[in-house]
Structure 1
């Protein structure tokens, strides 16, 4: 029973990009509060609203391309709303049903695990939650088992379960909490003016319940406006609170969700009023310890420049999301946010007029500091390699 089938999503919604969203919609709907416990953290998306239909841009691919050594990118800094649909329907929990024979959990009895993806039922491909309930009702009324195909990591598994009629509401249920979409906010890192490819976030989007990367079917990014900042304190990460419309102001497709961010193709022009001209990039072995700047939004849609220090940077031959340690030094940003906050992931790092990388994590015990990823790994995931001296350099091993 997908919300989009029942009500309009044209209204503007307030979304919270936090370590774990406070509200999660599942089937049946349930709310819960989840504390942050990691020593460092980044956004973990829950489903907050289902997705509307994505434009034809969603089919754009990121086939590898070659660019010259002096590649230049336009830095971002804009706050963006991120909306994803999963590849199948994700299992995020189990629950018991009070049937005629007592308390039962068909899903758990069938050894369906949290993190499994339901991709087929009775041979029918499953794309969203709305497709499941009719099948459950039919099987329950006919006293038949459901034949379920699951994707578990790289494995495809088959199992079966019998729906149980709940004594309280007489509905047939299978004892699984599921969802099919996710949403939150982050920050644009860069876009390539020639190909319109972009990179954002700097880290993978994970599901809030399973903690596993979301397997993407399709998605989109939209314009977002920051309405409030919850300041970070020692032991408690701060967060940006922002609003965006679910089906308006779409600025691009999401093609990939990787350890180094989300990537896709823009379908409209975006600006940041600070660095709207392309800048060269800096490789990991060229990054220097010392002063740098980040571009990010702390109010409305205004991109601002703030001072940071690159405490350390490790030249990397292999991709890693923790290539740099950063410290916020700008008094204005410290006053506004307390340091690095949820929703700031993807904020581009600029040093000596070049794009160095993006903010990715905050240290929970010291919100003034966190990690950054080098730009070359994000470029690689955007499908861009650099040609140098008649040789193509692959940016990832």
Structure 2
């Protein structure tokens, strides 16, 4: 029998090679990326899936398997408790400028020194600034000596220095620098979880920002405190609702705060916390395990009583890397809708449970639809709580 020529062999096997090529490269991660795009469009645009064929990167499924091995033995107790939050800033935060009346008119010395709202004053004349009360004696001394202050600032991640000349305020008969400053912050939120062996906890699900500057607060230390919900201002379209609550400074402190990150506040419990619903620990679910459909949240709407409420997972994006808006949820529980109108301020951190696993926390409300909002996947909170190690295997060297 005559053997086919070389060109004829190539002609015969080319279709087969094409089929093999297609089967090999159209991987499960590619199919997964396409189907996940059926989720909520706005969220997906914030967190695009990287091409499955990038050199040096794992597919979504490979990353999930790696993290699941890290998480399979993790068990945490869901929260739901209303907590008061008190923070002390690192340094003193600049929250505004004001004019100082002097003999030649009015001006803000701080603004003239190019000190911006959102800057943190960390040192003056080489002396560390921890509290607002540290500043006045230095300003008085430099004013009387007619010397400019050497001010060290933190702006974002950078440090810088400037000279600031105090001005004598004729009306108040004191030296002023023309800055509004703050060294503490307080508010309420909801605990998401705690790990019974270590006492580590996570709460809120989002960063705490200063109410005036809208910038994340760089914390020195802080406390979480037992809190009691006294009333609720119901949410409506265009106007978010709010929990009103009371707490007593340090008398009911239950833990410290060591971190304020994009995914919440974190620290260790110093006292036991009560849970009417659950005392047993729960397993957790990774983002790719979360399904569209029914779930429940735990939160407080009256006093300190933790209650379960029904919600619907409208969309969940399997996330390859840490990101804050992983889920869209909708409140479906008739009683919660009657009491709150949906998601309200102070509900941030309420744990979300699906199929007997903790999957995340409530974080944001849609202003034009208070029945709906965002949730964060639990794995990113567990990383910032130092309960699991971050998965860095998908990093690519430049």
TM-score interval (norm. to shorter)? 0.7 to 0.9
Deviation at 1:142, TM superposition (A): 2.1
Q: Secondary structure at the match of 2:325?
A: coil
Q: Cα deviation per residue 1:64-123 (whole Å; 9 max; x = unaligned)?
A: xx9662211000000000000011001111111110111121101111111111000111
Aligned to 2:316: 313
The match for 2:228 is 225
Equivalent-residue separation in structure 2 for 1:177 and 1:276 (angstroms): 46
1:289 is matched with which residue? 292
Partner of residue 303, structure 2: 300
Deviation at 1:368, TM superposition (A): 0.3
Distance 1:104 1:182, change over 3 A: same
Give the TM-score normalised by the residue count of structure 1.
Answer: 0.80
Q: Give the structure 2 partner of residue 56 of structure 1.
A: none
Measured in 1, the distance between the counterparts of 2:306 and 2:100 equals: 50
| 1:385 and 2:350 are equivalent in the alignment | no
For residues 44-74 of structure 1, the C-alpha deviation after alignment (integer angstroms, 9 at most, x for no partner) is xxxxxxxxxxxxxxxxxxxxxx966221100
Q: CA deviation at 1:357?
A: 0.3
Paired position in structure 2 for 1:137: 140
Tell me the SS of whatever aligns to 2:318. coil
Higher helix proportion (structure 1 or 2): 2
Give the CA RMSD over aligned residues: 1.8
Q: Considering fraction of residues, name the structure with more strand.
A: 1
CA distance in structure 2 between the aligned counterparts of 1:157 and 1:308, rounded to whole angstroms? 48
- Number of paired residues? 329
Runs of 4+ in 1 over 6 A off after TM superposition: none
| C-alpha distance in 2 between matches for 1:393 and 1:219 | 28
* Preserved contact between residue 312 and residue 330 of structure 2 (Cα < 8 Å): yes
Q: Within 5 Å, give how 1:53-202 maps onto structure 2.
A: 69-202=72-205
Q: Structure 2: any 5+ residue segments left out of the alignment?
A: 1-41, 44-68
Q: Larger RCO: Structure 1 or Structure 2 (Cα < 8 Å, ≥ 6 residues apart)?
A: 1
Question: For 2:278 and 2:315, how far apart are their aligned partners in 1?
Answer: 25
Decide whether the 8 Å contact of 2:200 with 2:387 is kept in 1: no
Query: 140-149 or 91-100, which moves further after superposition?
Result: 140-149
In structure 1, the gaps of 5 or more residues are: 1-38, 41-65, 387-391
What SS does the aligned partner of 1:138 have? helix
3-state secondary structure, aligned to 1:206: coil
- Seen in structure 2, the aligned counterparts of structure 1 residues 396 and 306 have a Cα distance that, compared at 3 Å, is farther
Greater Rg, structure 1 or structure 2? 2
Helix, strand or coil at the partner of 1:207: coil
Q: Which has the larger displacement, 197-206 or 162-171?
A: 162-171
How far apart are the structure 1 equivalents of 2:392 and 2:142? Answer: 52
1:248 aligns with 2:251: yes
Rounded to whole Å, the distance in 2 between the matches of 1:257 and 1:367 is 26
Q: Superposition pairs for residues 363-382 of structure 1, below 5 Å?
A: 363-382=366-385
* 1:277 match: 280
TM-score for the superposition, normalised by structure 2: 0.80
For the residues of structure 1 that align with 2:78 and 2:355, how far apart are their CA atoms?
14
Greater Cα shift, 231-240 or 244-253 = 244-253
Alignment of 1:320-335 (within 5 A): 320-335=323-338
Match of 1:45 in 2: none
Mapped to 2, the partners of 1:316 and 1:247 lie a distance apart of 38
